[in-house]
Amino acid sequence: MGANLVARRMRLVSAKTATEQRTIEATPRKDFFISMLVRDIDVNAAIIDLIDNSVDGAIRCRKEKNFNGLWIRIEVVKDKFVIEDNCGGISFALARHYAFNFGRSPEARALGHSVGQFGVGMKRALFKLGTKFKIESAAANSRFTVEVNVHEWSKNNDDWTFRFNDDLETHTVIPADKRGTKITVTPLNPVVAEYFEDAEKINQLVREIGERHQISIERGIRITFNGILVEAQVAKLLFSEQLKPAYVMRVRPRRKKHSVVTYQIWVGLGRDEREDPQRAGWYVFCNGRMILRADQSRSTGWGEDDEIKLTIPKYHNQFKMFRGYVMFDSQDGSVLPWNTTKTGLDKESWIYPPVKLQMLTLMRPVIDFLNRVDKEENQPEIGEAGPLHKIIANADLLPLSEVKGSRRFVAPTISPPPSKMGVITYREPTETIDRVKKVLKVQKNREVGEKTFEYYLKQEVE
Amino acid sequence: MKLPGSWKGVNFSIRFAKNIERKMLSEAFRCLRSFGDLNSYRYVGFGSTFFSDFKLFHRNLGITEMISIEAADEEDKKRFSFNRPYRCIKVKFGLSRYVLPTLSWNRKTILWLDYDYALDLDVLADVKCFCANAGSGSIMVVTVDARGHDPDGPDDPEKRLSWLKQRLGEKIPAWIRNRDLAGWGTAEVCRSIIEDEVQRTLNARNREDPQIQYLQLFNFEYQDTAKMLTTGGLLYDEQQEELLEKCGIKSLPFIRTGKEPYRIEVPNLTLNEIRHLDKKLPKNVVKKLLDCPISVDDMKKYSELHRYFPAFVEAEL
């Protein structure tokens, strides 16, 4: 062997080692992957994510979006969580190529108006809830079972597959009423088991399901939690001839750079029995699923300094009647502004910033009106009997679908008359007042004053 | 609630620089004809009780849809309505940040936010509202007090920045120091903050709409009493780029598209001197009039402004 050849070989070898030296290991570890995924989601969001899967089934099998006759049942007993539906099931192909993949391939994106988007929801939810799960599904032409022991699965870092059980059927015919999916998780993670023992948390969960899936429930799907029927918390706004919410509907983009998104915005006033300030704010929906609830933060335009310029505290109780609803809809859900847990906005998406500008423009007149209402409230001689309060009291609370919105929020511009009212005060023994109260059938001293004055006015003056 | 109050103290129509600025703006607006019949434009401003801008733009440009925004209390409302010079002016009562969002924005608009106080977040909210809603071919003009200190207090050079921060918070670029606010410095800082707000809003808006651009046209600085800044510009889209070049607006001598201001400096001349100078204009007066008792500096200033120069005389009507 000539010296030249040896030298050349040596160079080749060292070049190879150099390439190897320049390689950095970055393969994800399963246990890291799982722990990272579940940290970002809370139990409610995880369960609602599993409901998303069932709703997507409903969307697949009922293209016309009438969900009558479909149901989703959630049962939690001790250490076991079960969610079962009759929403058409997951087909063998869908399971094999999409449902169990982490992440969505580009060609899977356009799953008509679906709620599942990121290829992470169902798996993450199951990892969150427990350490073993079983998925049984029957679709039109297939039936399968997948069982996963998360501990076992996470041990082998080289194998990123799941296996169908032996009862797999791929060429069969299953009648429509037998199609559906059942997911069982047991044992549950200790924190999750504890969670389900807390009655208050379950109430909150049921309520949240009713809010976040209000549109699917309205379309006819029945969701039950341990036998309790989840009621839709339907979005409603005050409406009358004098008080009209703003409504805008747009289709975007105008240029064909992105998939088409339709969005609708309603802004106006709401009312609930408890006058709960926690209900005020913006509600955002993507493909029928509520992702943001009663938001009072900067991301929807409220602010400590800029945007709408509400003084700190950024949200004040005088705005407790404020309600704004934004509904995005697209065949291609990947363009909608949701985050992966569907509990917030992706503020950097192309569609959200321009929509937010419109939200700002539409909400400011409502804030102005509520400020005037507040001013009226703070005038003792007018108080809640003022003209603006009367207008609010006389308006009807209507579901969004029945609200005939106008392009801008319509409200009377009357300001409370500042100095035309006088105040009368006088003192009487409590005993006497109480006797008059009985006759007048009223509760408050103030009412005694008003009623007796009215009586005198009518009898002696007019 | 803050009520703009300077109308009570000053008769707007006799402020020289303001008067000149108004006429220059009118000349610039005239160039908008290329973008559409001026009849199709709407003018929105703060007319006060004098409506000087409304009168000028109605007469000079033929604009017939006009809205004046006034934050007035009940007593003053009658006075504002009473003083409307033309039927076509609608007065809307309320703060501009509440009134602007209630307007429909499907019409090309000339908006003059002519504040008599310093830049603050409310002003920027109005700027944002315009840029979020106005169509291409619309013009916005913003005038603010550019003194850089509390008008009711002394001017402490060390406190200018903290005063501005109270009004504008995070909108002030981090590199600004007190020394940047000396002299006309506050005006330049305010101009750049307004421009940033415009750009930020358009960036958000342009994610879906046709690409709307902003071209700053105005960067006036003047001082009738307090230092004032007037900035603003045109919203236009791609198809209008050619119109913009052809309409001649850019070649007007007072147009400023960058940070370099056009300062309106009004020479103090008698009517006699004005008449004398006028006869020699628009040729280069400086050379020919070296024998005249007016300083070269004043002559230069006057020759630049003479077409817009107001003459005030006392008159019995």
Closest by Cβ to B98, choosing from A253, A254, A364:
A364
What SS3 state is found at A136? Answer: strand
Nearest CB partner across the interface for B207, out of A354, A407, A415: A354
Mutate to test the interface with B, among A252, A357, A370, A407 (most CBs of B within 10 A): A357
pLDDT in tens, A333-356: 888 899 888 888 988 888 898 899
How high is the pLDDT of residue B292? 73
Where does the pLDDT of residue B66 fall: very low under 50, low under 70, confident under 90, or very high at 90 and above?
A: very high
Of B169, B216, B214, B155, whose CA–CA distance to B188 is shortest?
Answer: B216
The pLDDT score that the predictor gives to residue A311 is 37
Contacts of B202 in chain A (CB under 8 A): none
CA of B113 to nearest chain A CA: how many angstroms apart?
Answer: 17
Q: Is B129 on the interface with A (CB under 8 A)?
A: yes
> What would the two tokens of residue B17 be?
């620089």
CB under 8 Å to A2, separation ≥6 — which residues?
none
**Mutation test of the interface with chain B: which of A257, A310, A364, choosing the one with the most B Cβ atoms within 10 A?**
A364
| Fold type of domain A30-229 | Heat Shock Protein 90 (3.30.565)
Categorize the per-residue pLDDT at A312 as very low, low, confident or very high, splitting at 50, 70 and 90: very low
Which pLDDT does position B284 carry in this prediction?
64
pLDDT digits (tens, 9 = 90+) for B107-117: 999 999 999 99
| Residue A109, pLDDT score | 54
Q: What is the mean pLDDT of residues B231-245?
A: 93
For residues A12-40, average pLDDT? 80
For the sheet with A143-149, list strands across it.
A143-149, A132-138, A180-185, A80-85, A71-77, A222-225, A228-229
Q: Cβ of B242: how many Cβ atoms within 10 Å?
A: 10
Residues B214, B215, B221, CA angle at the centre, nearest 5°? 120
The mean per-residue pLDDT over the stretch A267-287 comes to: 88
Residue B202 predicted with pLDDT over 60: yes
Of the partner residues B122, B169, B208, the one whose CB lies closest to the CB of residue A351: B208
Q: Is the pLDDT of residue B101 over 70?
A: yes
- CB within 8 Å: A306 and B171: yes
Question: Model confidence over B130-176: pLDDT tens digits?
Answer: 999 999 999 999 999 999 898 888 888 899 999 999 888 888 998 99
Exposure b/e, A407-435, CB count within 10 A at least 16 = b? ebbbbeeeebeeeeeeeeeeeeeeeeeee
Mean pLDDT of A189-196: 91
Which of A22-26, A49-53, A107-111 has the weakest average pLDDT?
A: A107-111
CATH number assigned to the domain with residue range A236-402, chosen from the 4 options 3.40.50, 3.30.230, 2.60.40, 1.10.390 = 3.30.230
3-state class (DSSP) for residue A14: helix
> pTM here?
0.78
Q: Do A361 and B133 touch (CB under 8 A)?
A: yes
Q: What percent of chain A has pLDDT over 70?
A: 88
Q: In this model, does residue A306 exceed pLDDT 50?
A: no
**Domain residue spans of chain A:** 30-229, 236-402, 430-461
Taking an 8 Å cut-off on Cβ atoms, the answer to whether B208 and A309 are in contact is no
Task: Please check whether residue A357 touches B, CB under 8 A.
Answer: yes
Confidence of residue A308 (pLDDT cuts 50, 70, 90): very low
What is the predicted pLDDT for the residue at A274? 75
Q: Looking at A78-92, A177-191, A407-421, which range is the least confident one?
A: A407-421
* pLDDT confidence tier of residue A157, bands split at 50, 70 and 90: confident
DSSP string, A377-425: HT-TTTGGGSHHHHHHHHSEEEEGGG---BSS-B---PPPPSSS-----
In this structure, are strands B42-45 and B109-118 parallel, antiparallel, or unpaired?
parallel
Of A354, A358, A368, the CB nearest to B98: A368
Give the closest of A309, A350, A413 to B125, CB-based.
A309
Task: Please give the average per-residue pLDDT across A58-86, as a whole number.
Answer: 92
pLDDT tens-digit readout, A129-155 = 999 999 999 999 999 999 999 999 988
Q: What is the spatial distance between Cα A268 and Cα A410, in angstroms, rounded to a whole number?
A: 9
DSSP B38-71: GGG-EEEE--TTT-HHHHHHHHHH---EEEEEE-
Provide, as residue numbers in chain B, all residues whose Cβ is less than 8 Å from the Cβ of A356: 204
Residues of chain B with C-beta less than 8 angstroms from the C-beta of A361: 101, 129, 132-133
pLDDT at A424 over 80: yes
Residues of A in contact with B200 (CB under 8 A): none
Kindly determine whether residue A254 and residue B208, on different chains, have CB atoms separated by under 8 Å: yes
CB contact under 8 A, B208 and A354: yes
Is the pLDDT at A288 greater than 80? The verdict is yes
Of the two residues A371 and A326, the one the predictor is more confident about is: A326
Q: Which of A306, A309, A350 sits opposite B208 (nearest CB)?
A: A350
| CA-based nearest residue to A50, from A144, A179, A154, A182 | A182
Instruction: Give the minimum alpha-carbon distance from A453 to chain B in angstroms, rounded to a whole number.
Output: 30
Instruction: Give the distance from residue A353's alpha carbon to the nearest chain B alpha carbon, in angstroms.
Output: 5
CATH fold for the domain made of B6-264: Rossmann fold (3.40.50)
The predicted pLDDT at position B288 comes to 60
Minimum mean pLDDT range among A19-28, A55-64, A428-437: A19-28
B216 vs A117, more confident: B216
Residue-level pLDDT at A115: 75
Tokens at A280, concatenated: 């005020």
Lowest mean pLDDT among A115-124, A289-298, B38-47, B192-201: A115-124
Average pLDDT over chain A reads 85
**Range in A250-259, A331-340, A389-398, B27-36 with the lowest mean pLDDT:** A250-259
CB A102 within 8 A of CB A76: no
Which chain B residue lies closest to A308 (C-alpha atoms)? B125
